[in-house]
Homo-oligomer: A and B are copies of this chain.
Amino acid sequence: MKYSFAEQTKHYSSSAVRDILNVIQQGNVISFAGGLPSDDFFPIEAVQSAYEKVFASGKSAMQYGLTEGFTPLREALQEVMKRKGIESTVETTLLTTGSQQVIDLFSRVMLSEGDVVLTEDPTYLAALQVFRSYGAKVVSVNSDEDGMVPEDLELKIKKYQPKFIYIVPTFSNPVGKIWSTQRRQKLVELCYQYNVLTLEDDPYGELRFSDEVYPPVASFDVNRTHVLYTSTFSKTVVPALRSGWVTGPAEVIGMISQGKQMTDLHSSSIDQQALYYIMRDFDLQRHVQTLREEYYRRMTIMRDCLKRLDPGLFKWQEPKGGMFMWIEGEDNLDVTKLLNAAVKNGVAYVPGAPFYVNEPKLNTFRINFSHSTPENIKLGMDRLVPVLLNQVTV
């Protein structure tokens, strides 16, 4: 039978993230391709203990729950948000299946065919796929190392009247950039001036390598009217629980909640209850401090290996947090073609091309330092660097 799918499926692109996962699961390849946290530090005893508390709380814990999510966890998140300078309430906080679902549900309630979303370029590829799947046009804003350039942002807002702006301002994926405070403030000012919404995606903010704090863009939205903030427990606790949250203007959260009810009624409430006990009884701050130190150590090993590359041929910056390094080779380098050689040599990275909104830079790639052990980072880089050098000298 020939199946006649919805028009919107023409926007579905090849599933790059899934392909990445497939590469990871091949036997002897050391993969720097994915965006996975390290298994080594999963606080499994704390997670197990939390589930035991869920079961001890009685059978009603196993029943259907609210679409918005388990209320005590939403209450606990108010405190988390407050520490970041974001005022929220139980009513303006919604629990989801990871922050990916926030990107999808927010798009679903905002975007009609032909609407415009403004982003940086490159940006998180699975967000680009979602925006396009709803028929939206993605327009990139010029940006430098401090974030979107305000003049170009204002120009594009006026020209395209976008439905919203999507940003990952702290240790961005894939580039690892940190927006300056000034740029964060300026974006909110423009949102107020032109009545545009922003979705601030912050999966990596906690994974900073110094004590320097980067205030979320949402913290400058003092009226709580223009910026939605989303984050996830996938990077700080464990990914398997698939729990994220969003907080933002009550009316928008309410509409997202209606969308979520149709999508799946609610996310796993057993997982949400376990996360509540983790936040109540486990020293998550101290655990995150461990992650910071260990990820920093892994990053420095990867960084030191990269120093063997000629800085005239390969450009990269030392990240101040997050999980990724972003490398740009010579103009004529095609890293997608090079990937086969790398995988044959037992190492994988992810080409930068799918992260681009416009013309992809074929000479860019992203490597992840959080998932591999220090030993495997050394081993993998010993496999990767020669491939890169050969390519350059051939």
Residues of A near any B CB (own CB < 8 A):
1-9, 12, 15, 17-18, 21, 34, 36-37, 39-40, 42, 44, 47-48, 51-52, 55, 59-67, 96-98, 100-101, 104, 108-112, 115, 126, 129-130, 133-134, 163, 195, 197, 225-226, 234, 238-242, 249, 251-252, 255, 258-259, 261-271, 273
Contacts and interface: CB of A to CB of B under 8 A. Distances in A.
Nearest to A271: B268
Contact of A265 (B98, B269, B273): B98
B3 A249 contact: yes
A195 B1 CA distance: 7
Contacts of A55: 44, 47-48, 51
A238 B18 contact: no
Given A62-B241, A98-B265, 15 more contacts: A3-B255, A6-B115, A9-B109, A12-B255, A12-B262, A37-B63, A39-B63, A47-B62, A64-B240, A97-B267, A126-B261, A126-B265, A242-B266, A267-B268, A270-B271
Nearest to A45: B55
B1 A226 contact: yes
Main secondary structure of the interface of A (DSSP, over half): helix
Contact of A6 (B40, B109, B197, B234): B109
Residue among A65, A96, A197, A261 having the largest count of chain B Cβ atoms under 10 Å: A261
A270 to B, nearest CB: 4
A4 B110 CA distance: 7
A192 B266 CA distance: 35
B8 A130 contact: no
B264 A242 contact: yes
Contact of A63 (B9, B129, B239): B239
B263 A263 contact: yes
Contacts of A40: 59
Contact of A251 (B3, B17, B66, B104): B3
Contact of A264 (B98, B112, B115): B98
Residue among A5, A36, A66 having the largest count of chain B Cβ atoms under 10 Å: A5
10 contacts: A9-B259, A48-B51, A48-B52, A62-B241, A97-B263, A104-B264, A126-B262, A133-B259, A238-B270, A242-B265
Contact of A252 (B3, B8, B67, B258): B3
Contacts of A5: 109-110, 255
Nearest to A251: B3
A252 B4 CA distance: 10
A261 B251 CA distance: 27
A59 B36 contact: no
Given A268-B241, A268-B271, A262 B133 contact: yes
Given A5-B255, A225-B1, A61 B240 contact: yes
A261 B20 CA distance: 13
B258 A15 contact: yes
A225 B1 CA distance: 7
